[in-house]
Structure 1
Amino acid sequence: MVCDTVIYHPTLSKLINFLDNGAGREKVLRLLQYLSRFLAAQTLSPLAKALQLQFSTVRKFLRFLKPLNNIQNACRLYDNKLTGDGAIRIFSIIRQLSYAGYLTLDQINLFRILRVIPTTNVTGKKVPKWCNWCWLIALVSGMLAEIRQVRLSQSRISALTQDETIEKDLLSKSYKDRYTASRKFVWNAIDCFMVLNNLGFLHYQDGYVSLAGVFTSLFGLQDTWKAARP
């Protein structure tokens, strides 16, 4: 009886569903990758460095062909011209296409690591740099969309609070939209800190960069956990 209670507990069922999809496993591996990177920066441990590289490589396998998903999302946003804010739609399309470019270039990094393609000046230096530029463009586009969403939500909140016949459900949704956009802005800003260090615009120690990765990995884990079926 006790065993059945544990086995069929909703939290355990949700954990199984969370780990049963690629997104959940990828988020867990991302957290482990940046934790290993932080330990490697602090202790100079060869084991931590090796684990970081292994986690990074496995994540690249899990994201194989994922650019197709981003391209499809961009096409849907482009076709959906009659709903939503136009500026947010444009920024979101740029974001999706930039992520598609980032993930496509990252597949070249995977093939180089596996020695399917040779390590040259292009595959070893230029491709990782282009990869980071695509990531940066995606993040900046996302931040611009989130700023726009915060402004729209705030305008809606101001209008609703001045209305005597206030709609509580709509007001609650507006507060939720503002919070979600603000949280995502912070998330992207932290990732921007990492990318700017990768591109050489900032020169913070690797420990700070890896901690930033830990924080954004926790954000991603939280969202993926909420989306998992109980």
Structure 2
Amino acid sequence: MSSLASQVILHPTVSQSLKVLGTNLGRDKLYRAIQYFSRFFAWYLLARGYKIEGARWNALKGHLALARKLMRLGKPIEHLQAALRAAQSTGEPAEQITTICRQLGYFGYLTYDAFVWANTVKFFNLAPSTAQKVGKNANRFWLAGILFSVMHGLFKAGRLATEFQKLSGARLTDKGENTDREVKLAALRSVRDATKQQFVIDLLDVWIPASNLGIVNLNDGVLGIFGLITSLIAFRQQWLTVNRK
């Protein structure tokens, strides 16, 4: 029995899971996946008349959303630093500008979101109209950040496609140059795949703040599935990143 317990507890997958969940990003993406699954499942249950069960999953969704807001209290500064680094770097102007705007969008979103959290936990009390404005501003910045991220992905994908085409079409006779080209092509493929992945995440996530602002009218079932998919994609990426070290 002790041998079986050791095999389970000390299994490499368990150790890898602990490494991922030992990071803030890993925990956040797991909590987000459960939060958006809860959003979908609560909608599913309530649509079929299971009010008590639906309320239970709605409560879980709300508590996880609140916990994630607490975990993100320091992140606005991270995005502000990223915007400053992008402004000081050199590169394609379109990519640089959209990166700066994206980071500033997320900075504004998470800053307003911190006030939403403080009001929710009664750290200070906002008037209902003010709380509504704060929530709307958070979603406006969130939407702006995602839209700039989409534009950044389009610009970057175009540049990568051009570089890939030029590099793969070049005629080289030297063996060393061919090896160097293959290394560069592999690096381009990796960056291209990451760009495509982020693009998919943005295209799904954009509907969440858009729905919160009333721009589109998608139900909680659809938004829950979208959020669950993007959370699992991001969690998988964090898993690969952490366990590659």
Q: Residues 35-184 of structure 1 correspond to what in structure 2 (within 5 A)?
A: 35-44=37-46, 45-81=54-90, 84-165=91-172, 166=178, 167-184=181-198
Change (3 A) 1:5 1:39: closer
Query: Aligned AA for 2:156?
Result: Q
Aligned residue type for 1:41 = W
CA distance in 1, matches of 2:171, 2:11: 46
Query: Taking every aligned residue pair, what percent have the same amino acid on both sides?
Result: 28
Q: Does 1:214 align with 2:216?
A: no
Q: Which runs of 5+ in 1 are unaligned?
A: none
CA shift digits 1:86-123 (9 cap, x unpaired)? 22122111111111111110011101111122242444
Partner of 1:22: 24
CA-to-aligned-CA distance 1:53-91 (integer Å, 9 cap, x gap): 01111111111121111111111222223xx32221221
Superposed displacement of residue 3, structure 1: 5.9
Q: What is the TM-score when the length of structure 1 is the normalising length?
A: 0.92
Q: How many residues align?
A: 228
One of 200, 221, 224 as aligned partner of 1:186: 200
Separation (CA, whole Å) in 1 of partners of 2:121 and 2:5? 44
Deviates more, 1:113-122 or 1:191-200: 113-122
Offset from partner CA, 1:157-205 (integer Å, 9 cap, x none)? 2112221125111122222222221221111011112221111111122
Q: CA RMSD in A?
A: 1.8
Which letter does structure 2 place at the counterpart of 1:80? S
Partner SS, residue 158 of structure 2: helix
Distance 1:66 1:180 in 2: 22
Stretch of structure 1 that moved more, 103-112 or 67-76: 67-76
CA contact (8 A) 1:24 1:221 kept: yes
Q: Report SS of the residue matched to 2:206.
A: helix
CA distance in 1, matches of 2:194, 2:94: 18
Q: Helix, strand or coil for the counterpart of 2:215?
A: coil
The 2-side partners of 1:189 and 1:120 are apart by 34
Return the letter of the residue paired with 2:81.
Q
1:16: Cα distance to partner? 1.2
Q: Which shows bigger deviation, 132-141 or 85-94?
A: 85-94
Give, in whole Å, the separation in 2 of the partners of 1:158 and 1:22. Answer: 38
